[in-house]
Structure 1
Amino acid sequence: MTDPALPAYPHAHRLDLVEDLHTHRVADPYRWLEDASDPDTERWSAEQDALYAAYRARFDALGGAFATERLTARLGELLGAGFVSTPAWRGGRRFFSRRAGDQEHAVVVVAEGDDERVLLDPVALDPAGTTTLDAWQPSKEGERLAYQVSTGGTEESVLRVLDVATGEVVDGPIDRARYSPVAWLPGGEAFFYVRRLAPELLPEDERQYHRRVWLHRVGTPADQDVEVFGAGLDHTNYYGVSVSRDGRWLIVSASAGTAPRTDVWIAEIAADAAAPAFVEVAVGLDAETGAWVARDGRLYVHTDQDAPRGRLAVTDPERPGVEHWTTLLAERADAVLEDVAFTDGGDDERVPTLLLASWRRHAVSEVTTHDPATGEATGALELPGLGSISGLVTRPEGGPEVWFSYTDHTSVPAVHRFDERTRRVTLWASAPGEVPDLPDVVTRQVEATSADGTTVRAFVVARADAVDADGRPLAPAPTILYGYGGFQISLDPAYSATTLAWVEAGGVYVVANLRGGGEEGEDWHRAGMRAHKQHVFDDFHAVAELLVADGWTTTDRLACWGGSNGGLLVGAALTQRPDLFAAVVCSAPLLDMVRYQRFGLGVTWTEEYGDADDAEQLGWLLGYSPYHHVVDGTAYPATLFTVFEGDTRVDPLHARKLAAALQAATTGAPVLVRRETGVGHGGRALSRTIGLTVEQLQHVAWQTGLAAPGRRAAEPAPVVVGEEGR
């Protein structure tokens, strides 16, 4: 280690382990770090904790915006407004999630008229704050609520049912319900859901899989549930289930792991709901498809079949096959179809009067209106700004209103309502807390050219006083480049306390829309998966180079940041282009792509990355696997791995192995591991979120020069702007 103020790196012995895998000679010197319970791994991890503690102690000397107490308080203020979700209407009740600024977790609220009460509070279930609410679903009449919780970050959901009027639990617990949708039958006495088979029926390495769709009757033991779908299909399948409002139709969807293909079946629910007769809607297509029966009794299909950016088709549910589909909304060349909703007269007036469609155009949302019979465009909604919306929500009994949530880089998410009668969009529900004073920032969308000539866009957020009248930077500044690039996930404009805290202090924050994501449709996704994964890294490097070339930053003030699949992204960035970055935050990452599918949920991701047990696909993976591309004697960037011991999606072994390899190889800045227990890959308490973010920002600020010991409280780094900009 080049920093004499820090202890030496913990000793990590190197195994002389080289395997012949499909003609490839693959070294794995740190395989022993895969076993968290091995005494050597425990010793190594404890010493890494001590090393990081010594590094973290340096943060106490940071002044200004990055002083621990001040940054913690500021993030609390920026998150203080909390959030409120769109409503789920059920009869005379509406249900929604809400988190006030001082709450560790969101709660579920039920409202009747102007009266509202908290129905479900994770902190009331677990005062320690380690229990997270994974999902909830009210019955069609709003009399009961099914909900799922997990503890310690495991995401191993346990399902229960409570009575809405009394708040009492009336059913459950039902275990093995991870990632389970719930589809209530009318009357609230039974529902379809998804549950894994009992572990004793399965090989040990397959106990996370083998899901089935079951029919459960409230108040009966789960071992009496009736299996209705899934036997004989792919053991990695995830299932979706829904029941039409009138209870006549059951729709089941299936996808093998995270493959970008979805099969869909429909069944008419007879008197014996436990024995539905399924008919194919879309099976065996190389496409993602979602289907539902609307209030008008027709089957609507949202698909990217023959339309990579998405289209909407319609048919009769009694003739659901592809050959009977009629396209209602055709694919657009410039935007991705995200969601649709219909308005009508309400109650018995079921004929749609207006069709609303939400689209994503270069990551920015827009909503258009259409004739519901022909699909002809009739106008567009006036949204609050250039941001993103989520959900187009209507009442199950119909009517002229549609609700959606809106956010952008400086707008706390809020719920808006469209009323067909007035054709106006109005604010319907704001976040419950006080909206903080926000810095004066500007956002630009820039375009970079990737290695193969593809245009890649990115959002650049900077202080208004750090750019000229044309939006160009006045001087290079410490900059964070954030990316993901996978699983068709889009990085759309959104309110971020992390972004605003960084920019307020004088930095620049950049979000790259890389191939592998969903910003430009399924072709964009597939251009960054499997054999084409290197495109994602090339896109990221192209954005980084653009930021330097256009004067936003310099390589000694540029950091990259990513988590999960984004952790793989920055792992590849730091090993492929260590010259481009001064600092790295690599959170809950995938890094050993030769063995990734042997741990956690890795086997479900082979459609995204490739199968290491296949000779050709192993070649793809070895081509970029960060763990296998560490070169001795290289000056790697200052790297902070953040891992979570409760993570059941991405095993912390990935970070351990690459950290050991980098520590042995680097001639550059510190390589460190921050471990956290009691949390996992997903949701966490607010205080834990803030605590993690504080340390990640301090690491980047220290290594890019935005923070230094003793800097005055209100002073940004002098490399950012002159005195006139402070």
Structure 2
Amino acid sequence: MHRSSLPTLPALLASLLVACGGDQSPAATAPTTPAAAPAPIADNARASRYPETPMRPVTTEYHGVRVVDPYQWLESPKDPEVDRWIEEQNRRTRTYFDALPARKAVRDRVATMLNAVSNAWYGVKYKGGRLFATKFQPPKQQPFLVTLKSPNDLASERILVDPNELDPKARTTIDWFVPSPDGKKVAVSLSQGGTENGTVHVYDADTGKETGDVVTYANSGTAGGGLSWASDGKGFFYTRHPHPGERPDSDLGFFQQVYFHKLGTPEAQDAYAIGKEFPRIAETRLSASDNGRFVLASVQNGDGGEFWQYLRDARGTWKRLADLPDKIVDSAFGPDGKLYLVSRKDAPRGKVIRIDPAKPDLGKAEVLVPESEVTIKDIVPTRSRLYVVDLAGGPSQVRVFDLKGKQTGDVPILPVSAVHQLESIAGDDVLFSNTSYVEPSAFYLYQARDNKVTKTALASTAPVSFADTEVVRETCTSKDGTKVPINILRKKGMKLDGRGPALLTAYGGYGISLQPGMRPVTRLFLDQGGTYAVANLRGGGEFGEAWHLAGNLTNKQNVFDDFYACSKYLVESGYTRPERLAIIGGSNGGLLMGAALTQHPEMYRAVVSYVGIYDMLRVELSPNGAFNVTEFGSVKDPAQFKALFAYSPLHNVKDGVKYPSVLFPTGAEDPRVEPWHSRKMAARLQAASTGGPVLLRADVGGHGADTPLDAQIEQLADVYSFIFHELGLDAAGE
């Protein structure tokens, strides 16, 4: 995707889930065994009063269609009346949870699990003979930056930057870090309070002390950010957002440009490099060749997956290397000085081409790896090899090629697993992270000469066992006949009699793929005899760009049809029935939840929808919504308006319908999805639904990246006790 609507973990780590579609009611095939009824709770009934929410209609006309919005007043971010309304909603929500008999047991088990989660490392980078990594170590509230001499020498590990020490309130987060080529310095973007508005600080990698170099407004929750060091480590190119006073406040999260900072000089002297010609919604990534002669700026046009490529040559001149129609979506400089590119031009699943950056000409590019049946996700060139990480419909594979394009083998990985990172460390050897639904994440060392894989000391251990669990990968048929994969976790020997509960998740957007990964809290659901399912919907990137485009803009309804098809599959195959089916998703997956519950309210008993998008007619008016136009479309376009209005969850709620029980967790400082989406959707459903409770859980955080460990525990305790109660489950234990 982009980065804007991408759910940022760890807050959503255990909860981003979804399903796939079809258009027939499951009533004729669903088992008729009565559902287990949730225990009565005084404040749970529809008859109990919600906080009073005045309707103040505002009418807007779009292409001759008059649309009335009675809750637009809830969009005001600093209005005392809105603040009081939020407080009342939170008070009612807490009353609901305080009355749940299983909430304490669920909370205790979640806390035991998350506090027992072992150390975890991610984002590993190898520079100057040392490793840099972000480390998560409960009970510390936030991840921190460490260095090591090798992946098997934990005794050499040293903390370099620890947000837990910088901020006792645990609201400071590492957005990203970039070591210098010699590994002697590292630039770290830090942000506060979930805003993702990052300031770069430079640290000495030997002492851990700051150099005094500080660069502000280098990252945002809308456009993201990045940095690329000069080869001598004496400065770096970085993404710069407008500073206050340079543009109107409404434009401060836009118009990202590239500047150069020379170490030891004040930020005010930083030199403009490129970007005045970039679009308002530019999102820029920076990379450099090993010798520092060339710098590449990959500029994404909002969140739709289209890129321009700009190359800086050895003389310091920037030129556009590729336009949007060239469809260059990824890149990597090789040790041989060549530039390796992933192109989707005439190859929706990707091909690898190579050019000489000293004589950049895409028309004369070598095709090293042609398009195949799998989707290219990442490339890593080494001294004499090219590693290609692929998606095979969701799970990963890693192919190995020589530098002439001949495939020499595959890297052995776990079955039905995901490779989330692959890092060159020496010669042709690489480190890669690998995880599956039942195996925790670990970094493995692949020794090229021996074709040997060994697990390193950078390995997590799980607080629970999935030894009794099997993973089956099935397909369901969507409304238009498209086959959609669904990954199902269940206990071995499970009877498919339709009696069990099921929890389904999905995402379906921005070309983002839901890949395998162990989530310890899934054990809570499996221990209740439940099924946990992950669907790989259109809109994602599991089968390449064609799969993505089949679920964006005016094709977005395909995503919701896919989800419904997966839901129906779980019912018709005997895993569950609608009375015992819960769904969960976040961000773009929250939009999916909103569409699912409004289009097929009869299919679900409970819905958890994190930081979701629900008003598709006004989303583009918010800062990050402008970046989303290339993915969702705009109301300014008649055809796109028609599609948006047809599925916009807020505008498709109908009075008097028995909607599922719904929980809306949201963050007050969310820079990616405005929290008013959840406020308006909660208010509309509370006024309309004759079904279960509609609960707003408005927190102080952001989109998820900043959520401290203790807050994660409380949030997950609420989520799972909500699901347990609504599905008639009364215990959290084995």
Using the size of structure 1 for normalisation, the TM-score is 0.91
Amino acid across the alignment from 1:631: K
Question: Is the contact between residue 74 and residue 501 of structure 1 (CA under 8 Å) also seen in structure 2?
Answer: no
Aligned to 2:454: 426
Q: CA deviation at 1:44?
A: 1.7
1:29 equivalent to 2:70? Answer yes
Match of 1:145 in 2: 186
What corresponds to 2:413 in structure 1? 383
1:229-263 superposed Cα distances (whole Å, 9 cap, x missing partner): 01122111111111111111111111121122111
Instruction: Work out whether residues 554 and 639 of structure 2, in 8 Å CA contact, stay in contact via their aligned partners in 1.
Output: no
CA distance in 1, matches of 2:381, 2:231: 22
Contact 2:109–2:733 (CA under 8 A) maintained in structure 1:
no
Q: Identify if the C-alpha distance between structure 1 residues 51 and 627 changes in structure 2 by more than 3 Å, giving closer, same or farther.
A: same
Query: What is the match of residue 225 of structure 1?
Result: 270
8 Å contact from structure 2 (residues 464, 523) kept in 1: no
Alpha-carbon shift at residue 13 of structure 1 (Å): 1.3
Deviation sequence 1:666-721 (CA, Å, 0-9, x none): 1111001011114444342222222211111111111112x22xx5x746xxxxxx
| Structure 2 residue aligned with 1:287 | 327
Q: Distance in 2 between matches of 1:142 and 1:385?
A: 35
Identify the residue that residue 237 of structure 2 maps to in structure 1: 192
**CA 1:14–1:210: 2 relative to 1, 3 Å:** same
Match of 1:5 in 2: 43
Q: Is the 8 A contact 2:504 2:533 kept in 1?
A: yes
Relative to structure 2, which stretch is displaced further, 255-264 or 574-583? 255-264
Distance in 1 between the 2:632 and 2:639 partners? 12
Which residue number corresponds to residue 719 of structure 1? Answer: none
- Say if 2:318 is the partner of 1:278: yes
CA deviations on 1:367-418 (whole Å, 9 max, x unpaired) are 1222321x222222221322010222113xx513111000001111100111
Aligned to 1:723: none
The correspondence for 2:688, drawn from 622, 641, 665, is 665
* CA deviation string 1:496-547 (max 9, x = no partner): 1232332233221111100001111100000000000000000000000010
The residue type paired with residue 410 of structure 2 is A
Aligned twin of 2:494: 466
State the distance in 2 between where 1:131 and 1:71 align: 24
Find the aligned partners of 1:480 and 1:382 in 2 and give their Cα distance: 31
2:355 to 315, 322, 332: 315
Letter in 2 for 1:554: R
- Asked whether the equivalents of residues 193 and 706 of structure 2 are also in contact (C-alpha less than 8 Å), the reply is no
Q: Is 2:411 the counterpart of 1:370? A: no
Q: What SS is found at the alignment partner of 2:83?
A: helix
Equivalent pair of 1:299/1:320 in contact (CA under 8 Å): no
* Alpha carbons of structure 1 residues 70 and 370: separation in structure 2 relative to 1, 3 Å: closer
In structure 1, what is the equivalent of residue 541 of structure 2? 518
Residue deviations 1:44-79 (CA, integer Å, cap 9, x gap): 2121111101101122x118x9533233323433xx
For 1:520 and 1:433, locate their aligned partners in 2 and report how far apart those are by CA, in whole Å.
Answer: 31
Partner of 2:56: 15
Displacement of 1:199 after TM fit? 2.7
Which of 484, 489, 493 pairs up with 1:456? 484
Contact 1:158 1:176 in 2 (8 A): yes
What secondary structure sits across from 2:712 in the alignment?
helix
Question: Which residue number in structure 2 is paired with residue 563 of structure 1?
Answer: 586
Aligned CA distance change for structure 1 residues 474 and 381 (closer, same or farther; 3 Å): farther
List gaps (5 residues or longer) in structure 1: 271-275, 345-351, 468-472, 716-726
What secondary structure is seen at the aligned counterpart in 1 of 2:443?
A: strand
CA shift at 1:432, angstroms? Answer: 5.5
Q: CA 1:370/1:391 → structure 2, altered by over 3 Å: closer, same or farther?
A: same
CA RMSD of superposed structures (Å):
1.9
- The answer to whether the 8 A contact 1:261-1:286 is kept is no
Deviation, structure 1 residue 177? 1.1
Counterparts of 1:233 and 1:187 in 2: how far apart (Å)? Answer: 28
Q: Deviations over 1:599-658 (max 9, x none)?
A: 241100000000122333211110100000110000000000001111111111001111
**Residues 418 and 569 of structure 1, relative CA distance in 2, 3 Å threshold:** same
Q: Give the whole-Å Cα distance in 2 for the aligned partners of 1:197 and 1:241.
A: 18
Aligned with 1:360 (options 391, 408, 411): 391
Determine helix, strand or coil for the equivalent of 1:411. Answer: coil
666-675 or 492-501, larger mean C-alpha shift: 492-501
**Contact 1:634-1:668 within 8 A present in 2 as well:** yes
Partner of 1:243: 288
Q: Does 1:584 align with 2:621?
A: no
Q: Which amino acid aligns with 1:365?
A: S
**Alignment correspondent of 2:108:** 69
| Distance in 1 of aligned mates of 2:321 and 2:707 | 38
Matched residue type, 2:161: L
* CA distance in structure 2 between the aligned counterparts of 1:217 and 1:67, rounded to whole angstroms: 52
The share of aligned pairs that are identical, in percent, is 33
Decide whether the 8 Å contact of 2:353 with 2:366 is kept in 1.
Answer: yes
Task: Note the C-alpha offset of 1:221.
Answer: 1.3
SS in 2 for 1:200: coil
Q: Which residue of 2 aligns with 1:341?
A: 380
Counterpart Cα distance in 1 of 2:433 and 2:733: 34
The yes-or-no answer on 1:489 pairing with 2:530 is no
Map of 2:228 onto structure 1 = 183
Task: Note if contact 1:149-1:159 (Cα within 8 Å) is conserved in structure 2.
Answer: yes
Amino acid at match of 1:477: G
* Residues 51/428 of structure 1: CA separation in 2 closer, same or farther (3 Å cut): same
Tell me if the contact between 2:380 and 2:386 (Cα under 8 Å) persists in the aligned partners. yes
Q: State which drifts further: 295-304 or 677-686.
A: 677-686
1:675 aligns with 2:703: no
Secondary structure of the residue aligned to 1:466 is coil
* Whole-Å separation in 2 of the counterparts to 1:636 and 1:630: 9
Instruction: State the partner residue of 1:533.
Output: 556
CA contact (8 A) 1:648 1:681 kept: no
SS in 2 for 1:199: coil
Q: Which residue of 2 aligns with 1:83?
A: 120
Deviation at 1:170, TM superposition (A): 1.0
Q: For the Cα contact (< 8 Å) 1:646–1:679, is it kept in 2?
A: yes
Tell me the CA shift for residue 42 of structure 1. Answer: 2.1
Ranges in structure 2 where 5+ consecutive residues have no aligned partner:
1-39
Instruction: Please list the CA deviations of residues 430-452 of structure 1 after superposition, one character each: whole Å capped at 9, or x if unmatched.
Output: 43667544452111111110011
Give the 3 Å change call, closer, same or farther, for CA 166–532 of structure 1 in structure 2.
Answer: same
Deviations 1:471-506 (A, max 9, x none): xx2553111110110011100111112323322332
| Alignment-derived partner of residue 35 in structure 2 | none
The answer as to 2:593 corresponding to 1:548 is no
Q: Name the aligned partner's letter for residue 613 of structure 1.
A: K
Instruction: State the one-letter code of the partner of 1:364.
Output: P
- Aligned position for 1:215: 260
Match of 1:112 in 2: 149
DSSP-derived class of the 1:110 partner: strand
**What's the CA shift for 1:325?**
1.0
Greater mean alpha carbon deviation, residues 144-153 or residues 89-98: 89-98
Helix, strand or coil for the counterpart of 2:484?
Answer: strand
* CA 52–714 in structure 1, closer or farther in 2 if over 3 Å, else same: closer
8 Å CA contact 1:646, 1:681 repeated in 2 = no
Deviation at 1:286, TM superposition (A): 5.7
* Structure 1 residues 385 and 269: alpha-carbon distance in aligned structure 2, compared to 1, 3 A threshold: same
Q: Which residue of 1 aligns with 2:302?
A: 257
Name which structure has the greater RCO, CA cutoff 8 Å, separation 6+: 2
Q: Could you give the per-residue CA deviations for residues 313-371 of structure 1, whole angstroms, max 9, x where no partner exists?
A: 012213322211121000112x1012223343xxxxxxx2x332221112111112223
In structure 2, give the amino acid aligned to 1:107. Answer: F
Q: Find the aligned partners of 2:128 and 2:199 in 1 and give their Cα distance.
A: 27
